[in-house]
Amino acid sequence: MANTSAKLVDANRATIFVFDDKTNELFSQVATGLSHQEIRIPSHAGIAGDTFSNNKINHISDPYQDSRFNQDIDKKTGYITRNILCIPLYNSTGSPLGCLQILNKNNGDFTEQDISNLMGISYQIGIAIENNLLYEALTESNNEITSNNRKLAAILNGIADSIVLIDDDFRLIMVNNSTKEILNVESEKLVGRKCYEALFGYNDFCQGCIGKKSFISGEVKRESFEIPIDSQKKVYERNCFPLKEEDGKVHKIIEYIKDVTNEHEMEEQLFQSKKLASIGTMASGIAHELKTPIAAISGNLQVLRSNVEKVKKLYDAENNPSALKLEERIKKQMGNIESYAEKAAYIIQELLTFSHKSTLTVENVMISTMIHEGIELVTDHHEGKKISYQLELDDFLEIQCDKVKVCQVLTNIIRNGVEEMTENGSMRIKSHVVDNYVEVRITDSANGMTEEIKNNIFDPFFTTKEAGMGTGLGLALCHKIIRQHKGHITVESQLGIGTTFSVWLPAGEKNTKKLKLDLQGEEYVSFQLHDKVFKRRLKSIMEDGCSFFLLSDDTFLPATIVNGVELHLTNLTLLVHASIDLISNDFALMKFNPVDEKTSQKIVNYIFQHKC
């Protein structure tokens, strides 16, 4: 347009200045070779600024005599400006838009006809500039919208929950990545489909559809629902947010679906904890009330026994058959009273133990030791059953715990499994480290349990035994003890196959037995034996002694004996022979040749970590 304007009046050069209302400047794009250079001047400066700001035509015959003219550009470029014609430009509403500046008419000065010709095309130039500015603004707006859409998409796709946009025909028009991942379907296969069909696989609206309610009421609607996934019940919360248009009607809704299974479980646990606390308080009160009469019954029973002996002498019961029979009957009845009183006292003690917050007496204990003790306690009450135990234990797995209480837990679980078995059965017990926990898995070959029983197994006073055969506090107490140790206990069961209890306890920093050695003279080392397992292990591996090679990398390897021939290893620096010289119930004396405290400590630790 600038070149056309210059040719129209036979001029050498033309420039179009456009007003920038953001900076209050006039700017122009000037061609410099293959690129463009932008020129900016204050909207009131120079001849162009005077034309625009005062809305007038400026015809300058001798620019060098005009104070508004900036001569610096001519001096730098060598260009000589002979005359100037500057005409204001307007938009479609008649508002100033900029100006058209023409330089150096080729023959003489600009004429009135030139001014008339330029005024004739200035309107078209103004409209063209206005359209161009509108196009640039539209492009910039579209780019901003595109950028914002990308940011919004990134935000939505970064959310781990399902977010979808639904139109008033209940079709999906947008889904985020989490929705695709949850459903394992590409967005192309979701967008355009009915929401109830794409998300839930239904042929019609969901029962009590809150999306429909949100469209009608224009209000936010919420609901929770459950879906079984991979044999696990998942709990979801669905929120529908209406999007109102300018007409006030809802044409789209945003549906936000969040997996709240963990929160739901935590709420249930909190409710269960409050329920247990209430039950515990009640049980504690009842137990305290019963404790006094039970003690009175036991005391009076002792007095009654004493009185029976006195009556026996008065009536010469030894020579009186009737008196003897009466004595036997009374003693039998007293035995029954004593048995019932002891059982009542045991139940009261269980109630008090369950309801009171007891402290833990923590010590270093081998898991294997407690398992062996539990098996030994239960074995005495097998009642003719043939139970085989398959043990997969790490003999040297050590934790810090209250030995009495954790042993009570393991014994209780083992006993319950044995009681549920028929005449013949098997029990598999495994201990190992998983992440930062020591897991003990106890699996029985009983009949298993139903889902309903499994869900209530740790509830206080819940029992499947006949009336009078149990309090229902055993596993509830086990659960409480393990939670006190900052662990957890879980149960898996299948009808007709069996049940597995998993007890998880925090692993200690060191899960190998460390023995404190005491040098005795030049050759012997003594140390304490903490439990039966160590004693049994020590006897089995050290009866004939072991030789150890100390390698250059400061590790130990036992000498390999094949047909009585000792195979020597390379790069060894020391050969140490160790043997048991004395072993008693709680003490062992080991002989090393040669011996020093550091080497002896390493060898003993090696023996208890490896089989040699």
Res. 564: pLDDT tops 50: no
Say what the pLDDT of residue 325 is.
73
| Least confident piece of the model among 201-210, 335-344, 514-523 | 514-523
Say what the pLDDT of residue 586 is.
46
Residue showing tokens 């030995």: 403
Token output for 76: 């730098």
Say what the pLDDT of residue 104 is.
92
| Number of residues that this document lists for the chain | 612
Rg over CA atoms, the chain: 48
535 burial via Cβ count (<10 Å: 0-12, 13-18, 19+): middle
12-26, 181-195, 359-373, 426-440, range with greatest mean pLDDT:
12-26
pTM above 0.75, yes or no: no
Strand partners, 256: 163, 239
Higher-pLDDT residue of 120 and 550 is 120
Higher-pLDDT residue of 22 and 344 is 22
- Residue 96 in 3-state DSSP? strand
Token output for 346: 């045991």
Res. 234: pLDDT tops 50: yes
Higher-pLDDT residue of 42 and 594 is 42
Q: What is the mean pLDDT of residues 326-345?
A: 73
Res. 549: pLDDT tops 80: no
Higher-pLDDT residue of 481 and 563 is 481
| Least confident piece of the model among 187-191, 208-212, 456-460, 509-513 | 509-513
Higher-pLDDT residue of 246 and 459 is 246
Say what the pLDDT of residue 572 is.
38
From residue 329, give the alpha-carbon distance in Å to each of 10, 22, 38: 144, 113, 122
pLDDT per residue over 300-335, tens digit each?
777 777 777 776 666 665 666 776 777 777 777 777
Say what the pLDDT of residue 440 is.
92
- Closest by Cα among 447, 442, 449 to 464: 449
How many other C-beta atoms lie within 10 A of the C-beta of residue 194?
17
| Structure confidence at residue 120 as a pLDDT band (50, 70, 90) | confident
Res. 263: pLDDT tops 60: yes
Where do runs of H (alpha helix) occur along 356-501?
367-379, 403-420, 451-456, 474-484
Q: Are 9 and 117 in contact (CB under 8 A)?
A: yes
Res. 503: pLDDT tops 80: yes
| Least confident piece of the model among 132-141, 381-390, 418-427, 490-499 | 381-390
| Least confident piece of the model among 136-150, 162-176, 544-558 | 544-558
Say what the pLDDT of residue 461 is.
66
Q: What is the mean pLDDT of residues 31-47?
A: 76
Positive/negative CA dihedral, 41, 42, 46, 52: positive
- Closest by Cα among 97, 173, 89, 174 to 134: 97
Residue 316 zone, left/alpha/beta (φ > 0; ψ -120 to 50; rest): left
pLDDT per residue over 504-535, tens digit each?
888 765 543 333 334 344 444 444 444 444 45
Say what the pLDDT of residue 242 is.
92
Res. 588: pLDDT tops 80: no
How many other C-beta atoms lie within 10 A of the C-beta of residue 131?
12
Question: Percent of the chain at pLDDT above 90?
Answer: 13
| Structure confidence at residue 560 as a pLDDT band (50, 70, 90) | very low
